[in-house]
Amino acid sequence: MRKVSINGAVFIFMARREKLKDSDWLPSNSLPDSKYVLWPRGEGWDVRYLVFGAEGVEWLPITKTLFADEAEAWQAAYEHWMNRSKKTAPPIKHDDYQSEFPFSHLEANNFF
């Protein structure tokens, strides 16, 4: 099992016949994170994401079809996460005045 963590998302790559541990659905750092699991199934690769719903914890498929290989599954999982992140991200409000800092539009100057 390999894990990749990117900005609050955890992608779990599993080998054939490998099983998720009971703890794999738990948050990685005490904050809720997006979790994806990728593994070979049949002649392709399956990708599922973690959802906390009325039925409890569920791993839902991102598509109804399998992916040709691990690279294609990874690209689809990453794109799915990016699209979900864009929908849930709060809108960024920019001030109308020109800042003395050249990168104020990047929200990096809020630390000064």
Residue written as tokens 């002649």?
43
Return the half-sphere exposure (C-beta side, CA atoms, 13 A cut-off) of residue 4.
Answer: 10
What is the C-alpha separation between 19 and 48, in angstroms, rounded?
14
Tokens of 17: 């016949």
pLDDT digit string, tens, across residues 78-93: 999 999 888 766 666 6
> What number is the average pLDDT over the span 69-74?
96
The domain defined by 2-111 carries CATH number 1.10.1740: no
Please state the domain extents for the chain. 2-111
Q: Mind listing the pLDDT tens digit for each residue in 2-61?
A: 988 888 889 999 999 999 887 777 766 656 678 999 999 999 999 999 988 777 888 899
Distances in Å between the Cα of 43 and the Cα atoms of 24, 59, 63 are 25, 20, 16
Which pLDDT value is given to residue 84? 87
**For the whole model, what pTM was predicted?**
0.71
Distance CA 91, CA 40 (A): 37
pLDDT at position 37, please?
95
